[in-house]
Structure 1
Amino acid sequence: MVGGTVFTKVPSNVSVFSRAPQISFAICFMPQVMRCPISLLEHTPMLTAPTAATIPTGKTCSRGWAAAAAVAAVAVAVAPFLVWHLRWMSVRAHYEAFPLVVLGAAVLAWVRFRHPLTCASEGPAAPRMMWAGLLVGWVGVVAAEVLSSSWLACVSVMILVPPLAYGLGGREVFRRVLPAWGLLWLLVPPPMDFDRLLILQLQGLTTVWSGAVLDALEVFHLAAGNVIEIDGRSLLVEQACSGINSLFSLLACTLFLVLLTRRGWGRGTLLMLAAVGWVLVANVTRVVLVAMLETRWGVTAATGWRHEAIGVSLFTVAVGLLLSTDRLLEFLTRPSARAAESPRPVPAAATVQMPVPPKQAVRVAAVVVPSFLVIAGLHWAARGNESIAPVTVPSELASSPELLPAKVGEWERRDFGTETREAHNFFGEHSQNWLYSRPEMAVKSSLAYPFPGWHDLTWCYRSTGWQIDSQEVRTPANVPGGFVQVRLSKPGFRHGFLVFCEFDRSGRPFLARPGGAREPLFRHEASFDRIQRRLEGRPLPPPEPTGAAYQFQVFVEGASPLAAEGEEDVRQLFVALQSHLRERWAAEGGAKQ
């Protein structure tokens, strides 16, 4: 990132970032919960399936080919979108724990379905709400296909699960699938990049609280945006230390515990709120502890194993505090002794029916199978030739100031520096920075990489305290794919002008698009444009690269906004530099990723 106030070679310990929550999610919480279900389920009546005292023994229900065919048809129709969505989540640091959410849902499903099903709770056949849910889910999948929206496809799948479970297995299957279904909602990110906005809010809150604690400890520091400067060192409060990573992990732990043990709506809501509070406390403690170690004792803990150890330890403490909160709520909500002595009423025995596939399941399968196979056929007909290449991390580029020319018109290269961050860092794992100057103006340029696709740079500047005043997408012929220009401002009478574009290692462009909440809409607009071109017989635009993205930017800041002539000069410098870079890479023949 080159939008700071000092342009020097930045050491690798400037960012306070860790993936400890994902690690501690597995080693601190899941083993304990995985050990507790067996003993807990065997001795807690609330968690066990109905026994012979409640439902008479009878033959188990089997939905046979109808259930298998319906589930397979839905899976085939939505599989491409789920693959895209999981690939998208795997390269977002705050969703890297999503495999454990899937594992937790599988555990909940096993707990609820480990006893055989009976036909005692079949319920009314084909209610209107079930058919309405199936229709809404089907329409959602169709809309996801038209809009190329994996998010909408995931929401549609979640909408489909309850009515599909009810239609194929009745009320009993519907009831048993709900806990796993509820946990899987954590895999659906907020729409319109609301999670990024949440990251910014948590970063700001963590920075403010950490600054207050450092003030109380009489540690001299300066908070600028989400950067805490202490003794000339910049500690950037990133996603991990803002709480977004550990928040997702601890919320998943909490929801898993609530659903596994059936804590109830009231107690479960209080536990979820407590989880948010303990995460914020833990992450403020982490920022303060890192700052104290570096300033008071000279111990570098911003990166490396020390930071990982601090993150794991604090997350473990947060889990312990959450479990302690659960025990406190249990004590406060414990019923009176007289109420505890009163026996629970035993449910009346239900009638056991014959274990044959009910007509309702056959009717549901007869509707679901062809309707979703049609979606699958349309998808492969329209997109079957589109490959989903995995995002591989390219090797680090050789650090060389000669990657860009020494002189461009009046501009001369004055300085060069590099920066290395953690993998999947929001600002890019690697960056090479150049300083170009001419009389009365200096411009910072940067090449940052790798990103899994188009990376909205405006979020990075917002996280460091800049405000976006305006942004514009331009598509000149001499910049393939176009570029984005942004005007920014900052408290203290600071103004900035930013121009950036993105391309792959061979120089093939990613189409420029507006940032912020407008970025998700760009994908939908592009999908509509492709459909319109197909219908009108016009040639389709070239597909975007599927490999890692390289982001090139130029940035200038000052006490007053640039005049129109100054902005034009900066744009011309940007065009010349990115053209030189692409031509050099094209001459090298690209690089295999």
Structure 2
Amino acid sequence: MATATAASSDSKSRSSSTSNQSLMKIGLPYLVAIGAQLPMFLLFFRQMMSKTHYQTVWLALFATAAIVWSRWPREEKVPFRESTASNVLLGLGLMMGFGSFLFVEPWFCAASVMLLITSFLLKVVDTDRSNSLWTAALPLFVFLPLPFRWDTTLITTLQRQSAWLTSRLLDLLGLGHYLDGTQILVPGKVGYGIEEACSGVQSFFTLLFIAVVMMVVFRRIKTNLAGGTILSILGLVCLAASITLPFMFYIGVAFIIWGLVGFRAMALVYAAVFWAMFINVLRILLIPVLDVNGIADLTHGIGHIFLGWGALVIGLALLLSTDQLLLFLFGPVDTEMGEAGPFGKLITKFWNQLVSGQEDLNDSEKKKKRKVVSVKASSTQFAWIVAIILAVGGLWQASDVARALFQPGLKVQFFDADITQPMVEEDMPTQLQNWALVEGTGYQMQKRDRGSDLGRRSDVWQYRAPNCNAVVSFDQTFPGWHELTTCYRNSGWKLSNRVVIQPDVPDGEETWDIVEATFTKETGEKAYLLFSHFNGAGEPEQAPINVGTLESFLTRAKNRMSHRVRRSLFSSETYQVQVFVQHYGELGPGVKDEIKSRYLQARDILRQKFLDKNKTAAQ
């Protein structure tokens, strides 16, 4: 008996030693490739922490690490396997890493790191399912912002839909109100904004993250190469058809997700979207109803916080319930049950493969037939080639980060990227040529929560001019370019036109692009807007010509190759100067030229005041 025990212990020791050697052999090139990009990845993490909807990104890192730790094949003699998909993702990770080095763009770095992690996990054997641990990386991708600012478009759409649904429910409850964009206006009360309702712990991305973690932990993901390819092609066809039939977009996305992770996982993702809308509408509805009836003020304070967490708990419970419902409706069918014959078994097999998303684990013969192919030497060599290329690029990138970090007078706040400067009324003149500051109420200051879509602080000066009344506002800060036209659209304005203009100034004077936009309302009121941004060093932020398009991306990519951008990585927060004019009728060319001239004056004054305050604070 003692001999048998000793032999067993010896076997486990040899197995553990073999496993550790394999880990060093397979994992080391991935560790080098990821470590080379760590400085830029930390910068990406810092940027996400300053965005309201992505502040729970750290949970994704924890979730992936916990799932990998719990499922790691510690007892396997061959814990790694050959995977073609892993090599494909390794190549994509190299491409994204190259984009990060070239354009000093943290998004490319994050995509590269996530693809490298997924590539590595595709080679790790999952002993319970005889495949791999790649699904453990899925929580990371929830917090990778969509390209071309599609995530901003998605958030804005959710806010507008939430506001519209809440307004309809308030009508049913008989509460008099007016929906102005995403603002619910109740007579005698301050407007109730929708911005906060779709952010924070109860945001769409948080609930989507929970749904993805559930998919991975409860093993709801089932992939099938042939079926997944067909479904993905159908999805692409539907996306193409969405050009003329917009609703086909949602069907196309559903087919693509189905092809990648299975039907039940896709249904759970769509359920997360639905329940996110539901809990946000519920939250928005309760705030005005309870406030108007004198029951409770949940617009701020501890009540507002508890309402947000309560909504999240309700959303989690609804997701768990939906998962069980999907299991009941679309669960696996035992092929040995019933007397349907060969045709019935074929249908059952199709159902289990493409719909239920769960294989028959009781079929021991199938498990015995499965073979784990060891990682080929060519795959390891390819991984080392990628690691060496990324390591060389990482040295170049590290120098960019170091130069940006150790600039004289620069103070980097890693976990709180709020670098506002306290402006005062006297920072703007009482007379801006023929514009006069309104006495008494001409200056206002508004503070907001960290990560607000409207900025953390706004200093507003109201001027009265012979031809119009204008509002000059200095808004701070934003994590990169802030498309102000979206905020006005959420306030009930309809965007008529948006162009980027280069103002005419005397030779030798510094200037940069201005975004010019016009708006209308159903009431016949019109508005004229000018705005632009500069970073923490006072350097211009180039405006995208068409927000969310490939042309915009290419322009920004070209701009990011400049030395100015490469040395301002830690000054990525932007500061906004705007002039907003509301009017009826039409503004003549002369009036618009006057507004542009006053705007340039105001921008120069506010930028210089900001730089002076920055210099004083650094001393």
TM-score (norm 2): 0.75
Contact persistence 2:560–2:566 (CA under 8 A)? no
Quick one: structure 1 residues 174 and 198, their matched pair in 2 at CA, closer, same or farther if it must change by over 3 Å?
A: farther
Cα distance, 1:228 vs structure 2: 1.1
- 1:46-195 to structure 2, matched below 5 A, reads 59-60=15-16, 61=19, 62-63=21-22, 65-113=24-72, 115-119=74-78, 122=81, 130-165=86-121, 175-195=131-151
For residues 481-513 of structure 1, the C-alpha deviation after alignment (integer angstroms, 9 at most, x for no partner) is 443322233333232211223345775544455
For residues 98-151 of structure 1, the C-alpha deviation after alignment (integer angstroms, 9 at most, x for no partner) is 11111111121112106333228745xxx7655444333323321332233332
Aligned to 2:459: 432
Distance 2:603 2:206 in 1: 40
Letter in 2 for 1:425: S
Aligned to 2:270: 273
Contact persistence 1:427–1:460 (CA under 8 A)? yes
Contact persistence 1:243–1:279 (CA under 8 A)? no
Quick one: structure 1 residues 140 and 238, their matched pair in 2 at CA, closer, same or farther if it must change by over 3 Å?
A: same
- 1:346-365 to structure 2, matched below 5 A, reads 346-347=364-365, 349=368, 359=377, 362-365=380-383
Q: 1:406 aligns with which of 417, 430, 436?
A: 430
Aligned to 1:452: 479
Q: 2:449 aligns with which of 422, 426, 436?
A: 422
Distance 1:147 1:507 in 2: 21
> Given the alignment of the two structures, is residue 474 of structure 1 paired with residue 474 of structure 2, yes or no?
no
Distance 2:562 2:212 in 1: 41
Distance 1:584 1:336 in 2: 70
Give the secondary structure class of the aligned counterpart of 1:70: helix
Quick one: structure 1 residues 545 and 141, their matched pair in 2 at CA, closer, same or farther if it must change by over 3 Å?
A: closer
Distance 1:540 1:110 in 2: 39
Letter in 2 for 1:210: T
Distance 1:211 1:84 in 2: 40
- 1:194-593 to structure 2, matched below 5 A, reads 194-232=150-188, 233-241=190-198, 246-264=203-221, 265-297=262-294, 299-333=296-330, 344-347=362-365, 349=368, 359=377, 362-380=380-398, 385-387=403-405, 389-390=412-413, 392-394=417-419, 397=422, 400-414=424-438, 415-468=442-495, 469-474=497-502, 476=505, 478=509, 480-503=511-534, 507-514=538-545, 516-517=547-548, 520-528=553-561, 543=568, 546=571, 548-585=573-610, 590-592=615-617
Contact persistence 1:471–1:487 (CA under 8 A)? no
Quick one: structure 1 residues 583 and 101, their matched pair in 2 at CA, closer, same or farther if it must change by over 3 Å?
A: closer
Cα distance, 1:338 vs structure 2: 10
Cα distance, 1:575 vs structure 2: 2.0
Aligned to 1:5: none
Structure ranking higher on relative contact order (CA contacts 8 Å, 6+ apart): 1
Distance 2:41 2:130 in 1: 23
Give the secondary structure class of the aligned counterpart of 1:433: strand
Quick one: structure 1 residues 403 and 69, their matched pair in 2 at CA, closer, same or farther if it must change by over 3 Å?
A: same
Contact persistence 1:473–1:513 (CA under 8 A)? no
Count of residues in Structure 1 that have an aligned counterpart in Structure 2: 526
Quick one: structure 1 residues 515 and 242, their matched pair in 2 at CA, closer, same or farther if it must change by over 3 Å?
A: farther
Distance 1:294 1:353 in 2: 62
Letter in 2 for 1:67: I
Contact persistence 2:524–2:584 (CA under 8 A)? yes
Distance 2:610 2:331 in 1: 69
Give the secondary structure class of the aligned counterpart of 1:568: helix
Give the secondary structure class of the aligned counterpart of 1:577: helix
Cα distance, 1:425 vs structure 2: 0.9
Cα distance, 1:376 vs structure 2: 2.0
Distance 1:191 1:546 in 2: 22
Contact persistence 2:517–2:528 (CA under 8 A)? yes
Give the secondary structure class of the aligned counterpart of 1:189: coil
Give the secondary structure class of the aligned counterpart of 2:139: helix
**% identical equivalent positions:** 22
Distance 1:256 1:349 in 2: 29
Letter in 1 for 2:99: A
Compare 231-240 and 435-444 and name the one that shifted more.
Answer: 231-240
Contact persistence 1:108–1:179 (CA under 8 A)? no
Quick one: structure 1 residues 332 and 452, their matched pair in 2 at CA, closer, same or farther if it must change by over 3 Å?
A: closer
For residues 218-239 of structure 1, the C-alpha deviation after alignment (integer angstroms, 9 at most, x for no partner) is 1111111111111142112115
Cα distance, 1:443 vs structure 2: 0.5
Contact persistence 1:121–1:350 (CA under 8 A)? no
Aligned to 2:356: none
Quick one: structure 1 residues 340 and 94, their matched pair in 2 at CA, closer, same or farther if it must change by over 3 Å?
A: farther
Letter in 1 for 2:320: L
Give the secondary structure class of the aligned counterpart of 1:219: coil
Distance 2:291 2:166 in 1: 15
Distance 1:353 1:547 in 2: 47
Distance 1:283 1:160 in 2: 35
Contact persistence 1:120–1:350 (CA under 8 A)? no
Letter in 1 for 2:275: W
Cα distance, 1:522 vs structure 2: 3.9
Letter in 1 for 2:486: W
TM-score (norm 1): 0.78
Letter in 2 for 1:73: V
